[in-house]
Homo-oligomer: A and B are copies of this chain.
Amino acid sequence: MTSAIKEQLRGSRLFAGFDEELLEEIATAVSLKRVTKGEMIFYEKDPAFAFFIVYEGKVKVFKLSPEGKEQILLIANPGESFAEAALFGSGHFPASSQALADSSLIVVHQDKFVQLVDKKPVIALKLVVRMAELLHKLNRLVEELSLTDITTRLAHYLTDEVEKSSYEKPLTVTLAEKKTVLASQLGTIPETLSRSFAKLTKDNVIKVDGSVIEILDLDRLYEIAGE
């Protein structure tokens, strides 16, 4: 049992590269949890008893407005941790989390983890790297929410996706999320996102076929993204 967990830890970005002994110790601080699509993992303001690493599947961390609009703060894919910061802050989760697909999660319990970090501060280094990455993403999200329109955000999202892909012709991006979810990531609603897709299509910058986006004019797309 413990050895299975160790294998999963090794696959995470946070704990990859640690030696056997340390993994062994970490394994005693974690457990596994399976969640089904749509299941809530925690709610905003719940006491933060743990943080999580996605082993398989996909989860979102999000805020809801009183009127029901949703803003996704983070989508975590396999190997990625989430809610780490909650353990070092106010003691409660600052947002809610829900599974976007059937998923299995490594649950890292607070008490044991904090003890462990005190004993082996080298773990904190990995945490710093992950948190720096998250800060960078949030900086950019703030910038986009405050300073750019939605078509620009969409163009920026698409150029990012292109850069993650191989540049095979024809240049296409397959959306990793449903358009509803993408809208919430970009800080808008499905109707508005749909109109932005329509605008880029009308201008012959992209061609949309369901979740497959063909990039017709990459230079133009970068221009619109403001880069």
Contacts and interface: CB of A to CB of B under 8 A. Distances in A.
B139 A138 contact: yes
Contact of A88 (B65, B95, B122, B128): B128
B133 A131 contact: no
Interface in A98-154: 117-118, 121-122, 124-125, 127-129, 131-136, 138-143, 145-148
A207 B63 CA distance: 32
Interface of A: 63-66, 69, 71, 73, 84-90, 94-95, 117-118, 121-122, 124-125, 127-129, 131-136, 138-143, 145-148, 187, 226
A138 B135 contact: yes
Contact of A131 (B95, B131, B187): B131
B136 A226 contact: no
For chain A, what secondary structure do more than half of its interface residues adopt (helix, strand, loop), or is it mixed? helix
Contacts of A71: 142-143, 146-147
Nearest to A136: B89
Contact of A89 (B125, B127, B133): B133
Per assembly, the copies of the chain total 2
A110 to B, nearest CB: 13
A187 B133 CA distance: 23
A44 to B, nearest CB: 10
Contacts of A63: 139, 142-143, 146-147
A55 B129 CA distance: 26
Contact of A142 (B69, B87, B122, B138): B138
Contacts of A95: 139, 143
Contacts of A118: 125
A65 B132 contact: no
Nearest to A62: B143
A117 to B, nearest CB: 7
